[in-house]
Amino acid sequence: MVKFDANFLAETELVYTDGGILAEFSWSLVVLPFVAALFITFIGKYLPYKGAEIALGTIALIFIYSVSLMFIHITEGVASEFFVNVGSIGQFDIEFGWVVDGLSIMMYFVVGTVALLVFIYATNYMEGEIRYTFFFTSLTLFAGSMLVLVSSPTLIQILIGWELVGVCSYLLIGHYWEKKDNSSAAMKAFITNKIADIGLMIGIIILALNTGTLRISEILYQSTHDYEKLSKVAFAAAILLFIGAMGKSAQFPLHVWLPDAMAGPTPVSALMHAATMVTAGVYLLARMFPFYKSMAPEALDIVMLFGVITLLGAGLIAIVQDDLKKVLAYSTVSQLGYMVAAIGSGAYTAALFHLWTHAFFKALLFLGAGSVIHAVHSNSMLEMGGLRKVMPKTFTTFIIGTVALAGLPPFAGFFSKDEILASFNHEGETTFFFIAVLGAFITAFYMTRAVSLTFLGEYRGHGHPHESHNMMTTPLLTLAVFAIASGWVNIPGVYTGFTDWVTTRKTKIVEYHPESFDLFALSSGLIAGLLGIGLGYYLYQLQGSAETGDDKIKIQPVWTVLENKYYLDHFYFRFIIDPIKINISKAVDKFNTNVIDRFINGVGQIASLLGGVVYNNLDQNGIDRFLNMSSSGTDSFGGRVKLLQTGRTQQYLMLFLGGVVTISLLILFII
C-alpha cells in the first residue's frame, strides 16, 4: 500500500484532511461484499434466511461506513488516494487502490443507502422465488463491484469495476433464465455494454500511453497543466470514454439494453438500472470532468448533444409504454440524458446533484412499481388501476416519487432539475434549454399517465391485490423521505453544501455555481411540470382513459414509431447482429471448411496421389523388384534351412555336439 504523494494535487481549498484512519480502511468497503458473496454462495443455503442475512449485514456495515465517511467529509472535507501495486508491465505500474474524496463518498453514500433499502425490500419481495440465495450473492457482488468502480483511483480499476457491474447486471437480468427472453435480454445488456466498452478500453489505452500513467489524478493533473502533451489525442480519448459512458448510462443510441433489462426482478431494476449502475457513465464523466473541461471542450458539446437527444427521445417512448417498469426504465434513460447533458454543459455539480436525487426517487418509484407488480402479478398497466385504495402506503410514496421526478417544489427533483436548466440557460444553449424544458413536460405527463393508469380509476386486473408487507413498505417510506429531502442540500442562496461535497477533490473543478435561483429556468421548469401533470390528469383522469386503459392521444404514425422505439432494435438486429450471427459467421465457417480445409486436404490428396504414382511405378516396379528378388532368394534358402529347425531338442543337441567335436578336432590336430 502506497499512499499517493500529491504535493501538486491539493489545489482545492476545501480539502482539510486526508480522512485519517477511516479513509485508510475504506478498502474494506470494497473487499467486504466479495467476501460476503463467497460466504453466501457456500454456506448461504444452510442458514435460516438462506444467506439474505449475510447480505443484509454486509450492506448495513457498508451503509454505516459510508455514513461515517459522509459525516467526516461534511465536517472536515476529505480527499485522499491510496494505491496498491499489483504488477508492473514495462514501465507501467498496474495499481489498484481506493480514492476517498467528495465524489466517491457521495457515491458510497448513494450505493450504501439505496442498496441497504433495496436489500431489505428484496428479502420480502423475492421470498419463495427460485435461486433466492444466488440472487443475494449476485446482489452483494454487484454492491462490491459498484464500490470497486466508484472507489477507483486508476483507470484500470474503473474498467474492472465497469465490467464487473456489467456481469452482475447480466446475472441479475437473466435471473429467470428458464425463459429465453430473459436470458436474451441479459445478453443484450452485456453485449451492448461490451460494445461501448471498446470505446472505454481504447480511450483508457490512449490516455494511459500518452500520459504514462493509469492514475486518474495524475492524468487530470497533466491535462490541466500540460496542454501540449495530450492535446493531440484529447478529443479522441474524450469521445471514446464517452462512448463507454454511453453504454453504461444508456445514452442514445446504445440505450436499447436498459428497457429490456427490466426482465430482471424489480429490486434489481431499482438498485442497478435506476439508482447506481446506470449512473456509472455519469460518474466516469464527472470523474474525468477536469480533463474534459480543460482538454476537450468540443467533446463536451457532443456529450451534451447526445444527452439532450436521449432525454427527449427516451421521454417520448415512455409515453407509449404499457409496461409500468418500462415506463420507469425509459424515464431513467431520459433522466440519465439530463445528467449527461448537464455534464456536457459544464455543470458538474448539477449533474451529480441530479444523480443524487434521481437515485433516491427513481429507486422509490421502482420499488413502488415492484410493490404493485407483486400485488397484481402483472407488469402491464392495463391490468392495474384503482390501487390507490388497497395500497395506500405504496400509493402515497409513489406519488411522492412522481412529484419529485416531475420537478415540483419542494421535492428533490425540483432542485436538481432546476439547477440543470439554470446551467443550460447560463451557458446560452437556448435550443437545448427548451428541449430540456420540453423533456420536463413530457416527464410530468407520462408519470401522471402511469399514476392514473396504475392507481386511479377502477381495478381492471384479476385477483385481490393488497398492500405489501412492512419489509417492503418501510424502504418505500424511507426512500420517500429522501425523495423529499435530498434536494434540500443544494438550494442556491440558502444552503449549497452538496456543491462543496462533490467538488472536494484533489483536482480543482472549474464550473459555474449559481449564486441564487435562476428565475427564468425555475419558472419554465415548474410550468412545464405543472402543464405535464395537468395534461396527463386531464387526459387520463378527466377524460376517463384510466377507466378503460386505452390511450386517447394515439396519433398515427408517430405512435407507431414510438412504440417501435424508433426502429432502433430492428435496425440493430436486421443490419448488425443477424448478419454477423448468421451470414458472416456462417460464411467464415464455410470459408474455413471449404476453402482453407479443402486446400489443406487437397494438398494432402495431391501428396498421396503423387505418392501413389511414385509408389506404383518407381518403387514397386523398379527398386522393389530388385529388392523382391533378393528377398525371394533369402526366402527359398530359409525354406530349406528351416527344415533343420525340427523343434526336437535331441537333434539340436546332436548338431551342437557334432559341432563341438568337429571344432575340437580341428583345434587339436590341424591348427
Partner 1 sequence: MEILTNGVGLSAVVFFPLVSALVITLIPKGQEFLIKVFALVSSIITFVFSVLLLLEFDFSSADKLQLGNKISWIRSINANYEIGIDGISLPLLVLSTFITVLAIIYSIEHLPEPKSPKGFLALILVLETGMNGTFVALDLILFFVFFEIVLLPMYFMIGIWGDRTVRTVAGFKNQIETRLYASIKFFVFTLFGSAFMLLGFLGLYYRGNKTFSIPELIELGSAGAFTGTFATLVFAVLFLGFAVKVPMWPLHTWLPDAHTAAPTVGSVLLAAILLKLGSYGFVRIAIPILPEQAKAWAPAIAILSAIGIIYGSLACLAQTDLKRLIAFSSVGHMGFVMLGIASLTPIGINAAMIGMVAHGVITGLLFFLSGSMAHTYHTRDMGRLGGNMKLLPKTGALLGFTAMASLGLPGLAGFWGEFMALLGAYNPLDGLNVTVFRTSMVAGAVGTVLTAGYLLWMLQRVNLGEPSEEWMDKELHDADAYELAAWIPLVILTILIGVFPKLIFGATNDAVIAMLSKAFGG
Partner 2 sequence: MIVQPVLVTAAALFSLGIYGILVRRNAVMVLLSIELILNAVNINFIIFDSMLADSLMQGQIFTIFIITIAAAEVGIGLAIVLMLFRNRQTANINEFDLMKW
Partner 3 sequence: MEIYEVVTYFTLLLLLFSAARVVTTSNVIHAAISLVFTLALTATLFLLLSTQFVALVLVLVYIGAVIVLFLFGVMITRAPLGKNAELDNDKNKLIGATISGAIFLLFSYILINGFDGEIVITSGSSTELLGEILLSRFVFPFEIVSFVLLAALIGGITLARKDEALVDEDQI
Residues engaged in binding partner 2 (CB under 8 A): 642, 645-650, 652-654, 657
Site for partner 3 in 626-655 (CB under 8 A): 650, 654
- Answer for the pair 281, 332: CB distance below 8 angstroms, yes or no: no
Residue 671: exposed, middle, or buried by beta-carbon count in 10 A (0-12, 13-18, 19+)? exposed
Closest to partner 2 by CB, 556 or 649: 649
DSSP notation for 563-597: HTGGGHHHHIIIIIIHIIIIIIHHHHHHIIIIIIH
d(CA 195, CA 190): 9
Residue 613 binding partner per list partner 2, partner 1, partner 3, none, with a CB distance cut-off of 5 to 8 Å that depends on partner kind: none
The torsion angles phi and psi of 459, rounded to 5 degrees, stand at -75, 130
Record the cell numbers describing residue 466, joined without a space: 393488497
d(CA 572, CA 457): 39
Query: Min. distance of Cβ 661 from partner 2 in angstroms?
Result: 10
Residue 649 binding partner per list partner 2, partner 1, partner 3, none, with a CB distance cut-off of 5 to 8 Å that depends on partner kind: partner 2
Residue 136 has, within 13 A of its CA and on its CB side, a CA count of: 35
Closest to partner 2 by CB, 46 or 669: 669
- Answer for the pair 137, 40: CB distance below 8 angstroms, yes or no: yes
Question: Does residue 579 touch partner 1 according to CB under 8 A?
Answer: no
Question: Does residue 180 touch partner 1 according to CB under 8 A?
Answer: yes
Query: Min. distance of Cβ 644 from partner 2 in angstroms?
Result: 9
- Answer for the pair 507, 220: CB distance below 8 angstroms, yes or no: yes
Closest to partner 2 by CB, 621 or 646: 646
Query: Min. distance of Cβ 612 from partner 3 in angstroms?
Result: 46
* Contacts of residue 31, Cβ cutoff 8 Å, sequence gap at least 6: 144
- Answer for the pair 539, 455: CB distance below 8 angstroms, yes or no: no
d(CA 544, CA 457): 8
Closest to partner 3 by CB, 494 or 654: 654
The alpha helices in 212-264, defined as continuous H runs, are: 216-225, 227-248, 257-260
Please choose, from the candidates 317, 341, 175, the residue with its C-alpha nearest in 3D space to the C-alpha of residue 256: 317
Query: Min. distance of Cβ 197 from partner 1 in angstroms?
Result: 8
Record the cell numbers describing residue 291, joined without a space: 480533463
Please choose, from the candidates 556, 521, 375, 504, the residue with its C-alpha nearest in 3D space to the C-alpha of residue 440: 521
| Of positions 665, 666, 670, 671, contacts partner 3 by CB under 8 A | 665
Residue 390: exposed, middle, or buried by beta-carbon count in 10 A (0-12, 13-18, 19+)? middle
Residue 664 binding partner per list partner 3, partner 2, partner 1, none, with a CB distance cut-off of 5 to 8 Å that depends on partner kind: partner 3
| Of positions 27, 177, 488, 517, contacts partner 1 by CB under 8 A | 177
Query: Min. distance of Cβ 579 from partner 1 in angstroms?
Result: 11
Site for partner 1 in 198-257 (CB under 8 A): 198, 201-202, 205-206, 208-209
The torsion angles phi and psi of 255, rounded to 5 degrees, stand at -85, -5
Closest to partner 1 by CB, 205 or 653: 205
Question: Does residue 670 touch partner 3 according to CB under 8 A?
Answer: no
Closest to partner 2 by CB, 618 or 665: 665
Question: Does residue 481 touch partner 3 according to CB under 8 A?
Answer: no
Q: How many CB atoms lie within 10 A of CB 2?
A: 12
Contact pattern from residue 302 through residue 341 relative to partner 1, giving x for each residue in contact according to CB under 8 A and a dash for the rest: ----------------------------------------
Which residue's entry shows cell 447480505? Answer: 55
| Of positions 494, 527, 542, 580, contacts partner 1 by CB under 8 A | 580
| Of positions 25, 49, 92, 459, contacts partner 1 by CB under 8 A | 92
Contact pattern from residue 373 through residue 412 relative to partner 3, giving x for each residue in contact according to CB under 8 A and a dash for the rest: ----------------------------------------
The C-alpha angle 363, 572, 436, rounded to 5 degrees, equals: 45
Pairing status of strand 2-3 against strand 80-89 = antiparallel
Give the CA-trace dihedral at 512, 489, 361, 110, to 10 degrees: 90
Using the rule CB under 8 A, give the single segment among 111-119, 190-198, 304-312, 535-543 that binds partner 1. Answer: 190-198
Question: Does residue 608 touch partner 1 according to CB under 8 A?
Answer: no
Query: Min. distance of Cβ 643 from partner 2 in angstroms?
Result: 9
Closest to partner 2 by CB, 527 or 653: 653
Query: Min. distance of Cβ 101 from partner 1 in angstroms?
Result: 23
Q: Which residues bind partner 3 (CB under 8 A)?
A: 650, 654, 657-658, 660-661, 664-665, 668
Q: Which residues bind partner 1 (CB under 8 A)?
A: 85-92, 94, 156, 159-164, 167, 170, 174, 177-180, 183-184, 187, 190-191, 194-195, 197-198, 201-202, 205-206, 208-209, 580-581, 584-586, 588-589, 592-594, 596-598, 600-602, 604-605
